[in-house]
Amino acid sequence: MKIESGQVRKRPERFTGQEPSTILDLDLDPLVRAAGAVRYSLTAQRFADELLVCGVLEVEISSRCARCGESVSQTIQDGTFMRSYPLTAANESIDLTPDIREAILLALPMSFLCSAQCRGLCPDCGANLNKAPCKCGRPGKSAAWGALDQLKFK
């Protein structure tokens, strides 16, 4: 995404639109994919020798839950995007793409979860414990706590 600095005056100028998700270069990570375009709603304002750009970036990301492996889709948003670009000529084409990419990558969570309460997979039989308790007979957490409670009350 480029802004022609000559178009921007002291009055804040609004730029909204979208960029193809290929600007994010997510191909290297097999688990994280952009499920749509990168949307931006930015305001640019010109000061003496700099262009200040701030606003909101948003993209839909598909990934897999780190606990159970089910697919997850989540809107990643950077609501505090702000960059300043020094101006050296009356009109320059300022490319925001690398900064948009960086801001989105920084906003990505370390891992995706289908829900905060995801129970994940049984480490023994691999059953998805969100769907049903597994049948491999591994004593669950609740049983362990039950035994502990009995000890306390003896």
Q: Answer yes or no whether residue 68 interacts with Zn ion by CB under 5 A.
A: yes
**From its phi and psi, is residue 26 left (phi > 0), alpha (psi between -120 and 50) or beta?**
alpha
Where in the chain does DSSP place strands (E)? 2-4, 13-19, 33-34, 38-46, 50-64, 71-86, 93-95
> Binders of Zn ion: how many residues, by CB under 5 A?
11
Q: Which of 136, 140, 144, 145 binds Zn ion (CB under 5 A)?
A: 136
* Residue 4 CB partners (closer than 8 Å, separation 6+): 91, 92, 93, 94
Q: Which of 31, 125, 143, 144 binds Zn ion (CB under 5 A)?
A: 125
Nearer to Zn ion, 14 or 135 (CB): 135
Q: Answer yes or no whether residue 121 interacts with Zn ion by CB under 5 A.
A: no
Q: From the CB of residue 72, how many other CB atoms can be counted at a distance below 10 Å? A: 19
Q: Which of 17, 91, 124, 146 binds Zn ion (CB under 5 A)?
A: 124
Candidates 9-17, 22-30, 111-119, 145-153; binding stretch for Zn ion (CB under 5 A): 111-119
Maximum separation of any 2 CA atoms in the chain, in Å: 83
CB of 138 to Zn ion, least distance (A): 5
Nearer to Zn ion, 32 or 114 (CB): 114
The two beta strands, 13-19 and 38-46, are: antiparallel
Q: Answer yes or no whether residue 46 interacts with Zn ion by CB under 5 A.
A: no
Q: Name the nearest CA neighbour of 74 among 128, 117, 27, 115.
A: 115
CB of 73 to Zn ion, least distance (A): 13
Binding residues (CB under 5 A) for Zn ion: these are: 65, 67-68, 114, 118, 122, 124-125, 134, 136, 138
